């Protein structure tokens, strides 16, 4: 565990824990509350009913992180005022002034979201002094709902957009481990968020996704993760890769919990102009949940391809049986239903990263030593805590010219949208008269490779077809929503089931995911999975 993480996590936890046993504690009958595997909606109900307090729940999570995170490396920092936030929530409830169902519920943020009182490092020492003067819009909305911002979760550095070689986690937070098998990867880039949710280190976490960074970790850590339509949730105050593909969303232990969080964070933000349409499309997401949502629904089945597809075939077939038993009509789609958009995505992300990161860095405090991508490259070449890792994505992004106005970029964006929208997801939904697409989210967690191991990376150079097309990447370039729900275990390791649709269909996706979740009850927590290996 690295020194920076030690100082922000362990020391803060030790300092905060005594506050949990002051004279302000509720009667002894309510102090035995265990947070392990308690879903967010149950904590919400228990707080409302007076069966526990936010101070007890928050203290329980801090104690659990301190005792159990260790080599899992999922949490970078605990908020120094976490228990004060909890006490303020308890005071509001006592006065009959609670702010809603999330009031007093502790949630961890991925450490690329700005939150007052803690640095936003994106996992890099270049941003160690990036203590923001404002909350990100997501954080602001959560605070307005009464959420206790518990701390920051580890991540792949700069959300995984640094290099092609293996780089497990971040220099600040270390290498996160999969709680089902610490020799396995928790996936990226929202790795810490996935592990922390699976381990009940918070009621829920917030992740971010550019091309699989919410649903991937959700799948291999056995939790629910939703990536919303681009700009349904504001990106202001989040360290970016690409405003064309970046999204922020909930990572939870149940679909209901994800819907409750989306109810709080979705909507238009004037400071994210891309979100101008969001308010028109916001729906009451928790209210949309329905155990009969699959009845009569037409689902397009996309079977996995590639060498590792056989790993999940049995599990996927069992999930399809559940969907059919719930009343869904399954429509098998051809193996070439999707086209791989990675060539276009490579051009989009390299150009966007330079433009969008430079814009974010301009807003950081004066103590931050990097103001541009070029500065970040120089810092990471010379700083001994950073220079052991390559940075070919950064070099390639820095070499781009003309930003979003160049002909190559504009052609890639138009082509990418055409292939993934009107000739991709929208075509399949229309041509086969489908409501939703369904596919395995991925394969079981891979073994952790040593840092520096050569690999192709998510946006390999080369012609189309370098990899089989996947729904996660197609939805990423399209900017369309998807949700991953636990599907069960393969050799003791979780795999998720993805539901995807066209833009602004979060309510429908949550509803069918909820129906499947309630019918299958397929999530098996890490401690209960040990015997299945």
Q: Which residues are catalytic?
A: 110, 189, 213
Sign of CA dihedral 320, 322, 323, 328: positive
Q: Residue 160 region, left (φ>0) first, then alpha (ψ -120 to 50), else beta?
A: left
Count the neighbouring beta carbons within 10 Å of the beta carbon of residue 51. 14
321 is written with which tokens?
């049986």
Q: Phi and psi dihedrals of 332, rounded to 5?
A: -75, 125
SS3 content of the chain, % helix, strand, coil (to 5): 40, 15, 45
Strands (E), 370-470: 436-440
**CB-side neighbour CA atoms (13 Å) of 316:** 23
40 is written with which tokens?
């967010």
Q: Give the DSSP per-residue string, 299-345.
A: EEE----STTTHHHHHHHHHHHHHHHHTTPEEEEPPTTSS---HHHH
Q: Are 154 and 170 in contact (CB under 8 A)?
A: yes
Grouping H, G, I as helix, E, B as strand and the rest as coil, residue 97 is coil
Sign of CA dihedral 224, 225, 229, 232: positive
User: Which residues, 6+ apart, have CB-to-CB distance to 276 below 8 Å?
Assistant: 231, 268
Q: Give the whole-angstrom CA distance, residue 125 versus residue 114.
A: 16
490 CB burial (10 A radius; 0-12, 13-18, 19+): middle
**How does strand 204-209 pair with strand 247-252?**
antiparallel
**E strand or H helix at 9, and its extent?**
none
């Amino acid at each position: 565990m690295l020194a920076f993480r030690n100082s922000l996590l362990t020391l803060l936890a030790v300092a905060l824990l005594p506050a949990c046993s002051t004279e302000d504690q509720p009667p002894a009958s309510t102090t035995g509350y265990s947070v392990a595997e308690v879903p967010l909606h149950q904590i919400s109900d228990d707080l409302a009913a007076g069966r526990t307090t936010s101070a007890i729940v928050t203290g329980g999570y801090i104690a659990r992180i301190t005792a159990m995170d260790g080599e899992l490396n999922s949490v970078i920092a605990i908020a120094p005022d976490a228990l004060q936030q909890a006490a303020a929530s308890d005071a509001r409830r006592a006065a009959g002034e609670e702010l809603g169902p999330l009031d007093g519920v502790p949630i961890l943020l991925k450490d690329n979201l700005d939150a007052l009182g803690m640095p936003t490092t994106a996992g890099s020492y270049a941003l160690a002094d990036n203590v923001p003067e404002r909350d990100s819009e997501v954080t602001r909305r959560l605070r307005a709902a009464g959420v206790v911002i518990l701390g920051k979760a580890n991540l792949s550095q700069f959300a995984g957009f640094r290099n092609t070689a293996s780089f497990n986690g971040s220099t600040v937070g270390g290498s996160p481990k999969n709680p089902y098998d610490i020799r396995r990867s928790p996936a990226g880039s929202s790795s810490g968020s996935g592990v922390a949710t699976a381990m009940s280190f918070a009621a829920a976490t917030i992740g971010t996704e550019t091309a699989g960074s919410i649903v991937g970790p959700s799948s291999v850590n056995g939790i629910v993760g939703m990536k919303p339509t681009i700009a349904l949730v504001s990106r202001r105050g989040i360290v970016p890769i690409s405003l064309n593909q970046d999204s922020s969303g909930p990572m939870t232990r149940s679909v209901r919990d994800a819907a409750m969080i989306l109810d709080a964070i979705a909507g238009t933000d004037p400071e994210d102009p891309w979100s101008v349409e969001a308010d028109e499309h916001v729906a009451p997401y928790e209210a949309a949940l329905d155990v009969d949502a699959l009845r009569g629904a037409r689902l397009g089945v996309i079977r996995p391809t590639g060498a590792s597809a056989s790993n999940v075939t049995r599990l996927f077939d069992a999930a399809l049986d559940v969907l059919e038993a719930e009343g869904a009509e399954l429509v098998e789609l051809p193996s070439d239903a999707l086209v791989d958009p990675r060539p276009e995505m490579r051009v989009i992300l390299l150009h966007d990263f330079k433009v969008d990161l430079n814009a974010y860095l301009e807003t950081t405090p004066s103590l931050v030593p990097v103001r541009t991508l070029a500065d970040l490259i120089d810092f990471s070449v010379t700083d001994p805590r950073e220079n052991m890792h390559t940075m070919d994505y950064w070099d390639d992004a820095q070499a781009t010219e003309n930003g979003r106005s160049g002909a190559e970029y504009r052609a890639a964006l138009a082509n990418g949208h055409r292939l993934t929208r009107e000739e991709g997801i929208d075509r399949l939904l229309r041509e086969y008269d489908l409501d939703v697409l369904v596919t395995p989210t991925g394969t079981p967690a891979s073994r952790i490779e040593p840092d520096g191991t050569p690999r192709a990376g998510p946006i390999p150079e080369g012609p189309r077809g370098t990899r089989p097309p996947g729904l996660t990447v197609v939805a990423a370039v399209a900017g369309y929503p998807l949700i991953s729900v636990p599907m069960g275990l393969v050799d003791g390791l979780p795999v998720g089931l993805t539901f995807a649709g066209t833009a602004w269909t979060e309510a429908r996706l949550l509803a069918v995911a909820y129906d499947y979740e309630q019918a299958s009850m397929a999530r098996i927590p890490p401690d209960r999975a040990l015997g299945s290996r």
